[in-house]
């Protein structure tokens, strides 16, 4: 259980969370922000696995993609709501 929570928390405060949020704030299209966040999640997992999909765990990759999607979507929503105020 602690390993699962550690993986989720590490991805939130690592590149998929922070860079996904930043990339999401660059666009007003939620799907595009989510897509960019998901791509960041894939790339960071592969980079930290030394460039090999075989070395990347399925669960770690899945968590990174989901966190990236969520962070990119939240970034786009921040951009949309910030522009209307």
2 domain residue, yes or no: no
52 domain residue, yes or no: yes
11 domain residue, yes or no: no
pLDDT of residue 46: 92
Alpha helix segments (H runs only) across 1-85: 2-12, 15-24, 30-48, 58-84
47 domain residue, yes or no: yes
8 domain residue, yes or no: no
pLDDT of residue 53: 82
Predicted structure pTM score? 0.89
51 domain residue, yes or no: yes
Chunked mean pLDDT (size 10), the chain, 85 residues: 90 92 94 96 92 87 95 95 79
- Number of folded domains that form the chain: 1
* Token pair in block for residue 8: 């989720």
3-state secondary structure at position 17 = helix
């Amino acid at each position: 259980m602690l390993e699962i929570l550690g993986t989720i928390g590490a991805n939130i405060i690592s590149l998929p969370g922070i860079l996904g949020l930043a990339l999401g704030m660059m666009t007003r299209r939620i799907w595009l922000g989510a897509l960019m966040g998901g791509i960041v999640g894939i790339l960071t997992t592969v980079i930290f696995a030394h460039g090999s999909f075989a070395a990347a765990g399925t669960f770690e990759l899945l968590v990174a993609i989901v966190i990236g999607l969520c962070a990119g979507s939240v970034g786009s929503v921040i951009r949309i709501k910030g522009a209307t105020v």
